Chains A and B, each alone.
Chain A
Amino acid sequence: MSPRFEPITGRYLDLTLLDRPHRLYIEEAGQGIPLLCLHTAGSDGRQYRGLLNDKRIIDNYRVIVFDMPWHGKSSPPEGYQNEEYKLTSHGYIQMILEIADALELDRPVVMGCSIGGRIVLYLAHQHAKRFRAIIGLESAAHVAPYYDVEWLHRPDVHGGEVSAGVVSGLIAPTAPDNHRWETLWHYLQSGPGIFKGDLHFYKVDGDIRGKIDEIDGRASNLYLLTGEYDYSCTSEGTLDIARRTGAQATIMKGLGHFPMSEDPPKFISYLLPVLEKIRGAA
């Protein structure tokens, strides 16, 4: 294989987030409508590598992916050694709005997966006007705990290995091996307790069941895409949100909980029509 640079640019942004100085890692590619992408719990922006490299997308969209603080190449804030990381709905919403402002994004499209698929429901509920369209991947209003998350962060179990072990079955069995293991690698690399801290939002703090009926899926241009193999955010859960909000939902065949990372070409075949629709409405 001859060497080639991908069209992605990665940079560090120093900014104040939630009243604290942060050093944030951001990747982007393309030009046009800003498309701000949110990764899953315990992972990082590399999940969107397929989108950032797809000419059909980056010809018309400026794809922007940040690693949340504590994730990927973004640092935890100063003093992290004296606190327990716990993501909350309030902190997560503020983070997204403040990053969009710092980048001076003009009514971006926001797309998030899993915890990102949950927080975009909050954005559709509270901040719809700030976004041109909202795309939820693997969106569920709530997921009850089905295993003890204490296993994810203790010194006698490798945190990365157990996190990858927990999520491995959420990948569709038909996903190509290279993308399956790349997706797992991001979990294998995650910082200690970070997946667990994100799940605080996913399973405890971020229960939006009581507000679903207040979301106007049509006015907020809400699109929901869920993989059929996702047993965490189920197809039924997504279709229920669509029914109650008027959002447009698609159940994706042969995909699981990490569609953009576990099988990028298959996912992009589902995403392109949505992006075309959003572009047509602009």
Chain B
Amino acid sequence: MIERIPDMVNSDAHLIRRGRFLSTTFLVEIGDRGYLIKIIEGRVVSITPGPFVTPNYSFALRAPRDEWEMFWKKVPEPGHNDIFALFKRGKLKIEGDLHPFMANLLYIKDVLAAPRKEAA
């Protein structure tokens, strides 16, 4: 699912506009698999799967695979509908420089949830 993020985001002009002041690279871990998501001015320019030698990123979001799968359902169940729901349940860890994350929170939530648009 995560591979679908660039297309889903880059085809959404409104989402790009909302993220236009964000240029950063962040790490998403799905179980033991890492992905570096590089954003320049609101566009997702690359998603690079691990393993990494010396990954360089501003912040990291780490959750088990089954949690991400539940999160990406078209209509997620209660407790699975938002990354804050995941970390309130202790299933998602957020670490690193949280400034770009919090300053662009609505945008980043929508980037991460973008695969739902195509979910079954």
Contacts and interface: CB of A to CB of B under 8 A. Distances in A.
Contacts of A147: 84, 87
B34 interface: no
A165 B82 contact: no
B82 A170 contact: yes
Contacts, number: 56
Contacts of A184: 106
A169 B84 contact: yes
Interface stretch (A37-45, A108-116, A132-140, A150-158): A150-158
B85 A168 contact: no
Interface string B74-107: 0110110111110111000000001100110110
Contact of B103 (A158, A168, A174, A232): A158
Contacts of B105: 161-162, 165-166, 168
A272 to B, nearest CB: 23
A231 B88 contact: yes
A161 B110 CA distance: 14
Given A169-B84, A169-B85, A229-B81, A174 B75 contact: yes
Contacts of A166: 84, 105
Interface string A195-232: 00000000000000000000000000000000011011
A5 interface: no
A156 B99 contact: yes
A146 B78 contact: no
Interface residues of A, number: 23
A164 interface: yes
B33 interface: no
A161 B81 contact: no
B109 interface: yes
Contact of B82 (A168, A174, A235): A168
B95 to A, nearest CB: 12
Contact of B83 (A151, A158, A169, A174): A169
B84 A151 contact: no
A203 to B, nearest CB: 12
Contacts of B103: 156-158, 161-162
B84 A164 contact: no
Contact of B106 (A146, A156, A165, A174): A165
A176 interface: no
Interface of A: 146-147, 151, 156-158, 161-162, 164-166, 168-170, 172-174, 184, 228-229, 231-232, 235
Interface of B: 75-76, 78-79, 81-85, 87-89, 98-99, 102-103, 105-106, 109
16 contacts: A151-B102, A156-B103, A157-B103, A161-B105, A164-B106, A165-B102, A168-B105, A168-B106, A168-B109, A170-B84, A173-B75, A173-B81, A231-B78, A231-B85, A231-B88, A235-B78
The 10 closest A-B pairs by CB, nearest first: A169-B82, A165-B105, A231-B85, A165-B106, A151-B102, A146-B88, A157-B103, A228-B78, A229-B78, A173-B81
Given A146-B87, A165-B105, 16 more contacts: A147-B84, A151-B98, A156-B99, A157-B99, A158-B103, A162-B102, A164-B106, A168-B105, A169-B81, A169-B84, A169-B85, A172-B81, A173-B81, A229-B81, A231-B82, A231-B89
